[in-house]
Amino acid sequence: MNGGAKQALRTLVLAAVLWSSPALAVQPDEVLSDPVLEQRARDLSAELRCMVCQNQSIDDSDAELARDLRILVRDRLKAGDDNGQVLDYVVARYGEFVLLKPRFSVRNALLWGTPFVLLLVGGSVIYANARLRKTDGPSALNKDEQARLDQILNGRD
Amino acid sequence: MSIELGHFALVLAFALALVQASVPIIGGQLKNEALMRIGEPAAITGFALVALSFVALTMAYVQSDFSVLNVWENSHSAKPLLFKITGTWGNHEGSMLLWVLILFFFGALVAVFGRNLPLSLRANVLGIQGAIGSAFVLFILATSNPFARLDPAPMQGRDLNPILQDIGLAVHPPMLYLGYVGFSVAFSFAIAALIEGRIDAAWARWVRPWTLAAWLFLTGGIAMGSYWAYYELGWGGFWFWDPVENASLLPWLAGTALLHSALVMEKRSALKIWTVLLAILTFSLSLLGTFLVRSGVLTSVHAFATDPTRGVFILAILMVFIGGSLALFAWRAATLSAGGLFQPVSREGALVLNNLLLTTATATVLIGTLYPLLIEAVTGDKISVGPPFFNLTFGPLFLPLLAIVPFGPLLAWKRGDLAAVAQRLFAAFGIALAAALLIYLVVDRTSVLAALGIGLGVWLVMGALTDLVLKSGLGKVAAPVVLRRLTGLPRSVFGTALAHAGLGLTTIGIVAVTTLETERIVAMQPGDSVELHGYVLRFDNLRPFTGPNYTEDQGNFALSRKTGADLGEIMSSKRFYPARQMPTTEAGIRTLGLSQLYVSLGEKTPSGALIVRVWWKPMVTLIWLGALVMMAGGAVSLLDRRLRVGAPMPRKKPAALPQGGSA
């Protein structure tokens, strides 16, 4: 992060701390008249982090910055951007930190890969074990065991 | 004076815990009965001492003794009595003391109820409990002392965080900790088994009730926390995939897997090594959760502590216990004999699949929670992992798990017949399908997800009922026989059915509210109305009100049906707590059947209108009712005769040294 962005972030944090009156997330004046566009805006907002909040999306957050971002998202949508372009636009300004769903990238390979790799490895181990059990399972009795069994069974008579 | 007494008692408890951690285990190694027996009185006395210390702190809170730093920082003399008491654990130091109190409580329970355990097993279990206890008491004494004095004593305290001034604080943390810390017993049993190099079905039978009890409380704690966040945070969400929430979900997922694998071990002697590993992992995740929350490494709504020395201390505890136990496991696991054989299609096989999906889901939540920390530590970059990630990964893992749940209890042990089970579930499947169609055709034709999800929930409930119907022979034999069979069934059968049905109810609630919820955001003048889902909400007025330690603006609304039927008032308010200069929202909630209408107030617009946000939350209460049903399942199962009696039967003379156990 460069110095300017750091400074900007610090200002934002300060602004958030000083800002104290509670408001609601989406305000009536933000809502777009086109319901399809508005729904897209809501869906996108749920994927964007409010940078000055503690783990809230801009859709849920009361902060001023979240409001600015919500309006920004709606402006981009009105300008005709598709969802990907809107996200790119926001990321270009605020960094990948704003994405609540990290991108599929090499850096995030471990994050996205773990569930699949684990399921695959776990499944294979279980499968291999099951096959092993089949071949390892109780085999036919050997001669001594058979003799002992006969002895026991005959002993009942 | 009494606060010094509490401090002193805690120091004594530390010394005693050191004795408990060493003497019984040494005794076990030397086969010295007298040394092994030290564990019990040490555990019981240790609990009494920690309880004394906890009471001393609580008294300071009740009396608003601001000469105690911790009380001054977190209390206020005008606070209602209930919040003075619960405020004891509404801060870092006090909540750690509660954590330790519950840990010692479980240690004492093992000492009292574990009389029929083989002596060496009991000695080792209590020894491990003592070790954990001493580490955490030392943590409190060294880094988080709640008994520090303040001189001169201020006249007034700084008050408790207003969000915590709620009945939720009385229930949520104690239940959550009973769950978290309850898993320490399973952990201690696992370590004891590794030390002794012996494990059998009887071991699983001892471990299961402890695990079940911990699971039951953790379920309640998580559900309570979820409901608390839902009504207190003011935007009606019930789960945020917040790191702190994840920290409680992780041991729940692993604990659920443990519960199921311990069942296989008890009934079929299979999955022994895996069960031991799960017992270690579950408590390790509890410890990790404690670290994440208490060290302040996370920035989230729940974290109040930010002091690196604490983080490093807990990290050290974490490394000793998790690292040590896993090393012990790697070293000794091979000495534990592998268990019984089974076909892939069998109850065991189904439970293995359950474990695979649950542990993968656990790992997914774990990596998602820790990844931002990892990336920041390695590259210095900051990334976020939030709800969209978890929905995308956890969902696909959990949905198939839910879909196969009804098959499990119907499959036979060792070798099952999948086709026959599918046939028996035909009716349940039909009803679920009908429910899905009904939702699709009648309620909402735009959301296939809603129809499928609710169908899945109904499938779980019906599957659970099918099990009871089949086991009782309903429809096949005469009614008196059905009744006799039902009463003759082991309680754990009902426990399973209830728990699985509860899971289904929770699923229905989650799916319904996430897919079918409707929302209105409006600016209202007194007299204005808003219409939502066949209801009309009229804004009457905004009135100021003064509470004991806050002021608020109360918005009064009149609710009626569209048809005109009056449904009374809803009050929603915005509070302000002057001591902390903090605002909170108190949502107005009206329960209508299983659904809720949720009203939240916003700011005033320049023209003097009030911004109001109203939600219709369909079937939302099922989320928490389902959790209650799950807990009822756990409780019923806990009362099962097999678990109550314990195995083996108490011997007349418990002199038989290590050859206890039934194998």
Give the pLDDT confidence score for residue B605 in this predicted structure: 82
Give the number of other CB atoms < 10 A from CB of residue A92: 8
* Residues A150, A116 within the same domain: yes
Q: How far is A47 from chain B (nearest CA, A)?
A: 6
| CATH code, A59 | 1.10.8.640
**At which of B470, B497, B516 does a domain end?**
B516
pLDDT category at A132 given cuts 50, 70, 90 is low
Contact B120, B28 (CB under 8 A): yes
- Which residue, chain included where needed, has tokens 């809720």? B596
Find the CB nearest A114 among B357, B364, B386: B364
Assigned domain for A49 exists:
yes
> What are the CB-based long-range contacts (under 8 Å, 24+) for B295-300?
B297/B373, B298/B243, B298/B244, B298/B373, B299/A54, B299/A55, B300/A54, B300/A55, B300/B242, B300/B243, B300/B244
Assigned domain for B639 exists:
no
* Residues A89, A44 within the same domain: yes
Give the pLDDT confidence score for residue A35 in this predicted structure: 83
Give the pLDDT confidence score for residue B505 in this predicted structure: 97
Beta strands, E only, A34-134: none
Mean pLDDT of B36-59: 96
Asked if residue B151 has pLDDT above 90, the reply is no
Contact B24, B126 (CB under 8 A): yes
pLDDT category at B642 given cuts 50, 70, 90 is low
* Residues B208, B60 within the same domain: no
* Residues A80, A125 within the same domain: no
Dump pLDDT digits (tens) for B551-596.
Answer: 999 999 999 998 888 999 999 999 998 888 888 888 999 999 999 9
Give the pLDDT confidence score for residue B265 in this predicted structure: 85
Assigned domain for B156 exists:
yes
Dump pLDDT digits (tens) for A23-81.
Answer: 456 777 788 888 888 889 988 998 999 887 777 888 888 788 888 899 999 999 989 88
Rounded distance between C-alpha atoms, residue B481 and residue B499, angstroms:
25
Q: Residues B352, B355, B360, B366: what is their CA dihedral angle, to the nearest 10 degrees?
A: -160
Asked if residue B652 has pLDDT above 50, the reply is no
Q: Which domain holds residue B237?
A: 197-408
* Residues A81, A113 within the same domain: no
Give the pLDDT confidence score for residue B487 in this predicted structure: 83
Assigned domain for B443 exists:
yes
* Residues B107, B224 within the same domain: no
Chain A positions in Cβ-Cβ contact with residue B375 (cut-off 8 Å): 107
Assigned domain for A54 exists:
yes
* Nearest alpha carbon to residue B458 among B420, B496, B430: B430
Dump pLDDT digits (tens) for A69-100.
Answer: 999 999 999 898 899 999 999 999 988 889 99
Q: Do B523 and A28 touch (CB under 8 A)?
A: yes
Q: Do A20 and B581 touch (CB under 8 A)?
A: yes
Mean pLDDT of B406-434: 89
Chosen from A31, A101, A121 to mutate, greatest number of chain B CBs within 10 A: A101
DSSP H/E element including B583: strand B582-586
Q: Which two tokens stand for residue A111?
A: 């994050």
Provide the number of structural domains found in chain A.
2
**At which of B408, B430, B450 does a domain end?**
B408
Cis peptide before B400 (omega within 30 of 0): no
pLDDT category at B656 given cuts 50, 70, 90 is very low
Assigned domain for B187 exists:
no
Provide the number of structural domains found in chain B.
4
Q: How far is A1 from chain B (nearest CA, A)?
A: 8
Dump pLDDT digits (tens) for B467-516.
Answer: 998 888 887 788 888 888 888 888 889 999 999 999 999 999 999 999 99
Q: Which domain holds residue A77?
A: 3-98
Q: How far is B241 from chain A (nearest CA, A)?
A: 9
Dump pLDDT digits (tens) for B374-412.
Answer: 888 788 788 889 999 999 999 999 999 999 999 988 888
pLDDT category at B643 given cuts 50, 70, 90 is low
Contact B67, B2 (CB under 8 A): no
Task: Assess A55–B contact: CB distance below 8 Å, yes or no.
Answer: yes
Give the pLDDT confidence score for residue B268 in this predicted structure: 81
Give the pLDDT confidence score for residue A67 in this predicted structure: 87
Chain B positions in Cβ-Cβ contact with residue A101 (cut-off 8 Å): 385-386, 388-389, 392
Asked if residue B25 has pLDDT above 90, the reply is yes
